[in-house]
Amino acid sequence: MTVAGNWKMFPGPDPQALRVALGDLPHVVAPPYTRLRDCVEAGLTTYAQNVHWADEGAFTGEISPPLLLSLGVEGAIVGHSERRQYFGETDDGVAKRTAGALQAGLNVIACVGETEAEREAGETQEVLRRQLAVLDAHPRLVIAYEPVWAIGTGRTATPEIAQDAHAFIKSLLDAPVLYGGSVKAENAEELLSQRDVDGALVGGASLDIESFVTICRIGSSR
Ligand code: PEP
């Protein structure tokens, strides 16, 4: 079961201290770019928070799969709702980033999820269908179901909402599905015990070593 920590644009915990605290527990960390090397050198399983599709080129501000691989980075998050919401990333761009990263040899966590307005309008399945339609199953592709209304808000999807969405996603694409949206040490057990929840993508709670290690331990026991 994968438990991945998205540090967003925060420095995050000390990689060495986190490594020691995690021991043998399976984990992924996605620090800001400037901390990738420290995380790799500390022996953490390290992903980037985004990746471009091209190997190289005139794409200011972007990072390519080979550049990440050369650092020892093993994967990337793609299509996070904050990228879609604040930086105009589209389903098409997410598809290209995902395909380019997979082709280059990275693992990918591709994020999907509906906004509050879309859920209230009964459009959750339609949104998920549209976001997933551009992705093809791949042995190194994992999906993260992250309802936008639950990210960084303290509002977690109920285990039933998560289970329903995960089962729907799996009916469309053969891939493990992580749940993301205000996962904490206190609610991880009931979310991760749902049949189709294959792990978690954790934002805020991954910045605290004790919380993240607790969630990783719960994940490894499932
Ligand atoms: C995330 O950043 O992917 C996330 C789910 O954040 P949080 O856990 O803080 O809601």
Residue 102, token pair as written in the block: 């997979």
In percent, the amount of the chain with pLDDT more than 90 equals 96
Q: In terms of pTM, does the model score above 0.95? A: yes
pLDDT tens for each residue of 96-152: 999 999 999 999 999 999 999 999 999 999 999 999 999 999 999 999 999 999 998
With a 6 A CB cut-off, is 147 part of the ligand 1 pocket? no
- Report the run of H or E that residue 37 belongs to, with start and end: helix 36-41
CA 50, 53, 57, 60 torsion-angle sign: negative
Q: How far is the CA of 120 from the centre of ligand 1 (A)?
A: 21
204 lines ligand 1 (CB under 6 A): yes
Between the CA of 58 and the centroid of ligand 1 the distance, in Å, is 31
List all residues 6 or more positions away from 43 whose beta carbon is below 8 Å from its beta carbon: 19
CB-ligand 1 contact for 77 (6 Å cutoff): no
Sequential pLDDT tens for the chain (222 residues): 899 999 999 999 999 999 999 999 999 999 999 999 999 999 999 999 999 999 999 999 999 999 999 999 999 999 999 999 999 999 999 999 999 999 999 999 999 999 999 999 999 999 999 999 999 999 999 999 999 999 988 888 999 999 999 999 999 999 999 999 999 999 999 999 999 999 999 999 999 999 999 999 999 998
Distances (CA, A) of 54 to 21, 22, 101, 111, 207: 36, 34, 9, 20, 31
What residues are annotated to the active site?
A: 80, 146
Residue 91 contacts residue 134 (beta carbons within 8 Å): yes
